[in-house]
């Protein structure tokens, strides 16, 4: 174990719910302190994973003795669906299931069916693709709209080094094909780019998926959590990635689909598709951030880089009505001040932030 290892339980701090009085007279219904409205909810359904990606769950921290959450601590499907309905009432139109590896949660299809029953929700899921070939059809049948699949390289040795679980590229590619065949499209492929680790995989990845109808999104390596040993020098800026790809395969910008879209869109000039870049480090997009995150055990976080969350499970299990839970969510959102990526420094990167595998990416 290295000295950067922090017992994760320590980092799961709870914040008291904001009271009416704390909000001040300028608080506007539905908006946070920077005028942002809630639009997306990411729900983590497990903190466990069968990969040990070096930038997310480093093996020296998430080893055999690591204490994952016991089952009794997890939100049940009924609790998740109940909260999802309450969040829908606050303007949430899109729900992404994530983790850990969401497809490791047993009977996930049942949860998807329950969420698909809520009218007007766009339902998506992010997965490492390891069991997607087996599950794609059932996920679609349950009501999932689309998937995002993470894949950090097409090079066998590089990918195995990145996932640190000796998992082969071919099975993820089979999963992507199965998802496309099941109609979970358009598929997005997430590639985290870490300088010195997989930057040589950027061009082959762009080339492989060009013309496939799938959209590769290159993600800057972020200082989420407190265990991945992040350093600014390891970040390959998105501008550099766009330049590298554009030199080989000319690109032009595309307008965002909607305000607050995380990825900046680029399309190939020859009309053979598009890519995205997610520049959380070099071009912060906090001003339009409309996302909230619900952890596996029912803590609500209003920023990916949060140090503490609000205990919604405590409210549910303490007997709160839906109206009371809804009022609490309204106050939490109105009190929100988050803009971590705008204020990131080498010092903030060392803070005890909550882990990505727990909060949900
Ligand atoms: N296990 C699933 C997967 O890998 O797709 C879902 C959870 S994972 C935490 C969600 C996304 O976060 C993945 O695309 C992953 O690559 C990304 N991610 C994890 N750690 C990251 C980091 N330090 N910087 C940037 N992206 C990261
Ligand atoms: Fe698991 Fe996803 Fe984190 Fe990789 S990025 S360790 S697949 S949760
Ligand atoms: Fe949103 Fe926090 Fe990321 Fe800024 S740093 S874009 S507030 S999640």
54-82: pLDDT as tens digits? 999 999 999 999 999 999 999 999 999 99
Retrieve residue 339's tokens. Answer: 């803009």
Is 303 touching ligand 3 by the criterion CB < 6 Å? Answer: yes
Between the CA of 162 and the centroid of ligand 3 the distance, in Å, is: 25
Between the CA of 36 and the centroid of ligand 3 the distance, in Å, is: 11
Between the CA of 42 and the centroid of ligand 2 the distance, in Å, is: 15
User: Domain ranges in the chain?
Assistant: 8-359
**Mutate which of 291, 333, 351, 353 for ligand 3 pocket (most atoms within 8 A of beta carbon):** 291
Query: Can you tell me the distance from the alpha carbon of 224 to that of 308, in angstroms, rounded to the nearest whole number?
Result: 13
Between the CA of 151 and the centroid of ligand 1 the distance, in Å, is: 10
Is 190 touching ligand 1 by the criterion CB < 6 Å? Answer: yes
Q: What is the pLDDT of residue 90?
A: 95
The atom of ligand 1 lying closest to the CA of 101 is: 1
Between the CA of 162 and the centroid of ligand 2 the distance, in Å, is: 10
Between the CA of 126 and the centroid of ligand 2 the distance, in Å, is: 10
Is 153 touching ligand 1 by the criterion CB < 6 Å? Answer: no
Model pTM score: 0.94
Q: What is the pLDDT of residue 308?
A: 87
**Mutate which of 356, 357, 360 for ligand 1 pocket (most atoms within 8 A of beta carbon):** 356
Residue nearest atom 8 of ligand 1, based on CA coordinates: 361
Between the CA of 344 and the centroid of ligand 3 the distance, in Å, is: 11
Nearest to 264 by CA among 235, 241, 296: 241
**What's domain 8-359's superfamily in CATH?**
Aldolase class I (3.20.20.70)
ω into residue 107 within 30 of 0, thus cis? no
Q: What is the pLDDT of residue 6?
A: 41
Between the CA of 238 and the centroid of ligand 3 the distance, in Å, is: 17
Pocket around ligand 2 at a 6 A CB cut-off:
49, 51-53, 56-57, 99-101, 128, 150, 357
**Cα 172 to the chain's mean position, in Å?**
18
Residue nearest atom 6 of ligand 3, based on CA coordinates: 286
Name the closest ligand to CA 360.
Answer: 1
Residue nearest atom 11 of ligand 1, based on CA coordinates: 361
Q: What is the pLDDT of residue 47?
A: 95
Q: What does each of the 361 residues of the chain score in pLDDT, given as a tens digit?
A: 333 444 444 456 788 888 766 666 556 779 999 999 999 999 999 999 999 999 999 999 999 999 999 999 999 999 999 999 999 999 999 999 999 999 999 999 999 999 999 999 999 999 999 999 999 999 999 999 999 999 999 999 999 999 999 999 999 999 999 999 999 999 999 999 999 999 999 999 999 999 999 999 999 999 888 888 888 899 999 999 999 999 999 999 998 887 777 899 999 999 999 999 999 899 888 999 999 999 999 999 999 988 889 999 999 999 999 999 999 999 999 999 988 888 888 888 888 777 888 877 7
Residue corresponding to tokens 């949660």: 105
**Mutate which of 104, 150, 162 for ligand 2 pocket (most atoms within 8 A of beta carbon):** 150
């Amino acid at each position: 174990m290295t000295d950067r290892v922090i017992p994760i339980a320590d980092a799961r701090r709870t914040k008291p719910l904001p009271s009416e009085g704390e909000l001040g007279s300028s608080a506007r219904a539905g908006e946070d302190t920077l005028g942002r409205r809630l639009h997306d909810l990411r729900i983590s359904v497990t903190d466990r994973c069968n990969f040990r990606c070096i930038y997310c769950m480093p093996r020296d921290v998430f080893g055999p003795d690591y204490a994952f959450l016991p089952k009794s601590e997890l939100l049940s499907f009924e609790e998740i669906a109940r909260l999802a309905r309450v969040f829908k009432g606050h303007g949430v139109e899109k729900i992404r299931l994530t983790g850990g590896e969401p497809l490791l949660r047993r009977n996930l299809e049942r949860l998807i069916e329950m969420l698909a029953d809520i009218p007007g929700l766009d339902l998506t899921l992010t997965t490492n693709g390891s069991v997607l070939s087996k599950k794609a059809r059932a996920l679609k049948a349950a009501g999932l709209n689309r998937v995002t699949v993470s894949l950090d390289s097409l090079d066998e040795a590089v990918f195995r080094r990145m996932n640190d679980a000796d998992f082969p590229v071919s099975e993820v590619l089979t999963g992507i094909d199965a998802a496309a065949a099941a109609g979970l499209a358009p598929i997005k492929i997430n590639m985290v780019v870490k300088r010195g680790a997989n930057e040589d995989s950027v061009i082959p990845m762009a080339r492989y998926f060009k013309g496939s109808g799938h959209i590769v999104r290159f993600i800057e390596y972020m200082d989420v959590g407190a265990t991945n040993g992040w350093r600014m020098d390891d970040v390959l800026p998105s501008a550099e990635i766009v330049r590298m790809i554009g030199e080989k395969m000319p690109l032009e910008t595309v307008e965002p689909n909607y305000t607050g879209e995380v990825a900046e869109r680029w399309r190939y000039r020859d009309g053979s598709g598009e890519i995205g870049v997610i520049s959380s480090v070099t071009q912060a997009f906090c001003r339009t951030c409309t996302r909230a995150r619900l952890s596996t055990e029912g803590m609500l976080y209003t920023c990916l880089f949060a140090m503490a969350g609000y205990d919604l499970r405590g409210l549910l299990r303490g007997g709160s009505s839906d109206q009371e839970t809804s009022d609490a969510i309204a106050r939490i959102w109105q009190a929100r001040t988050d803009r971590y990526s705008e204020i990131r420094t080498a010092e903030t990167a060392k803070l005890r932030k909550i882990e990505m595998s727990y909060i949900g990416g």
